[in-house]
Amino acid sequence: MPKSSRISSYTGNEGWSVRSLDGSGVNREVHAPFCERLGVRFPRPTCPLFHVLKNGCRVEALQLGEVKKLELALVIYLVVAWRQAHLVRLARVHPDLPASTVFDQIEWQAAWLLAEKDPPKKTPTVREVIRRIAMLGGFLARKGDGEPGVKTLWQGFARLSSFVRGLEKIRQSYAL
């Protein structure tokens, strides 16, 4: 028995529209032009931003009553989604890049502290930090698992950002 698909569409102020089919995978004809409009280019024919928006940010679950509210939420979520997709790509393309080029020192050290490990003395690579953050989000990092995806990275960042805010608050309160 075939799956029933729900068609949803949204038309922005400038006349561009986004239409997606739920349950049928990525609609390349729709997503690729939207990514071009945002000025985002990826080597694959599909745009990972939509995967992050749908699975990480859960944009479809937003119960916003007005189009203006939806537009504001999408602006914020697109920035977050872009960073997640960029970090995943960066860890795959430039794995030996020092983590200090992308993360603050407190961020990468907090990833080790949350895993109950001592932070390394030397600045780790971007790949090591991305894997550590993704492990906080459920990535198992087994021998044949490959590199983490945006979903586990998103979930790991959710835990990490709360922990970093707590550390910063403690440092401010107790002047550490």
Average pLDDT over residues 79-85: 85
Please state the domain count of the chain.
2
Looking at the structure, tell me whether residues 89 and 32 fall in a common domain: yes
CATH assignment of the domain containing 105:
1.10.740.10
Could you tell me the pLDDT band of residue 104, with boundaries at 50, 70 and 90? very high
Structure tokens at 169: 């608050």
Quote the pLDDT of residue 9. Answer: 44
Q: Which residue has the higher pLDDT, 41 or 99?
A: 99
Domain that holds residue 39: 1-93
Looking at the structure, tell me whether residues 57 and 17 fall in a common domain: yes
Which residues share a beta bridge with 98?
125
Cβ atoms 168, 119 nearer than 8 A: no
Of 89, 85, 109, 113, the C-alpha closest to 99 is 109
Q: Tell me: pLDDT of 21 over 90.
A: no
Quick one: three-class SS letters along the chain? CCCCCCEEEEECCCCCEEEEECCCCCCHHHHHHHHHHHCCCCCCCCCHHHHHHHHHCCHHHCCCCCHHHHHHHHHHHHHHHHHHHHHHHHHHHCCCCEHHHCCCHHHHHHHHHHCCCCCCCCCCEHHHHHHHHHHHCCCCCCCCCCCCCHHHHHHHHHHHHHHHHHHHHHHHHHCC
Average pLDDT value over all residues in the chain: 76
Buried residues in 133-153 as b, exposed as e (16+ CB within 10 A): bbbbbebeeeeeeebbbbbbb
Looking at the structure, tell me whether residues 4 and 80 fall in a common domain: yes
Looking at the structure, tell me whether residues 38 and 120 fall in a common domain: no
Quote the pLDDT of residue 85. Answer: 84
Q: Tell me: pLDDT of 35 over 80.
A: no
Looking at the structure, tell me whether residues 80 and 133 fall in a common domain: no
Q: Tell me: pLDDT of 19 over 50.
A: no
Q: Tell me: pLDDT of 45 over 50.
A: no
Looking at the structure, tell me whether residues 1 and 86 fall in a common domain: yes
Q: Tell me: pLDDT of 22 over 50.
A: no
Structure tokens at 175: 């002047």
